Amino acid sequence: MNAGEMNEQLQPKLQEIRNYLIRLGASPSDAEDILQETVYKAFLYIDSIENGKFSAWLYRVAINRYYDLCRRKKWTMVPIDTMDIPDDNLPEDALLQQEKKEEVEAVLRQLAPLHKQLLIMKYEMELPYQEIARLLGIRMEQVKASLYQARQQFKKKYGSDTT
């Protein structure tokens, strides 16, 4: 892969990866720093990245870097104020939406990192099982089984919080 091809594949993915890192709990500035390091590593290892696996490689480097950052800080930042609320909603509706989002975020924080990743990739990013498996470097059967466990764990925790 040459630099021109890499740039073509890189630009559309950067915003997607940035949003994903923020959903995992990175602050916007940390997400930008992680992206810069990811791009730097991509340029360093451009010759060793297999064709067709560039996107998965970028995700894996960014996710690993995010986990390194979390280990260094010993805590995870989860921005809750990133929700866009349409102006046409009544204030009560907006408040209820914000409360529900905060409840969901709180439950997601309690889940195992893999379960949190799977739920975000499947239900927020709407990725198919094959793409999730490719991005995480695991078998599709493992994605399905772990996603089932993640849904069960989420339902259990969300149900106990709302009752």
User: Residues 81-139: pLDDT tens digits?
Assistant: 554 545 555 667 777 777 888 888 888 888 998 999 899 889 888 889 998 998 888 99
Q: Which fold has domain 3-73?
A: Rna Polymerase Sigma Factor; Chain: A (1.10.1740)
User: Is 20:55 a contact under the CB 8 Å cutoff?
Assistant: no
Q: Which residue has the tokens 């399905």?
A: 144
Residue 19 pLDDT > 60, yes or no?
yes
Could you tell me which residue, 40 or 162, shows the higher pLDDT? Answer: 40
Give the pLDDT confidence score for residue 163 in this predicted structure: 46
Per DSSP (E only), the strands in the chain are none
Parse the chain into domains and list their residue ranges.
Answer: 3-73, 91-162
Could you tell me which residue, 57 or 83, shows the higher pLDDT? Answer: 57
Residue 77 pLDDT > 50, yes or no?
no
Mean pLDDT of the chain: 81
> What is the band of 9 on the pLDDT scale with cuts at 50, 70, 90?
low
pTM of the model as a whole: 0.57
**CATH code matching the domain that covers 91-162, chosen among 3.10.520.10, 2.170.130.10, 1.10.10.10, 2.130.10.10:** 1.10.10.10
Helix (H, G, I), strand (E, B) or coil at 134: helix
Angle at alpha carbon of residue 76, lines to 70 and 134, rounded to 5°: 65
In terms of Cα–Cα distance, which of 161, 159, 119 is closest to 143? Answer: 119
User: Residues 32-51: pLDDT tens digits?
Assistant: 999 999 988 888 888 888 87
Give the pLDDT confidence score for residue 32 in this predicted structure: 93
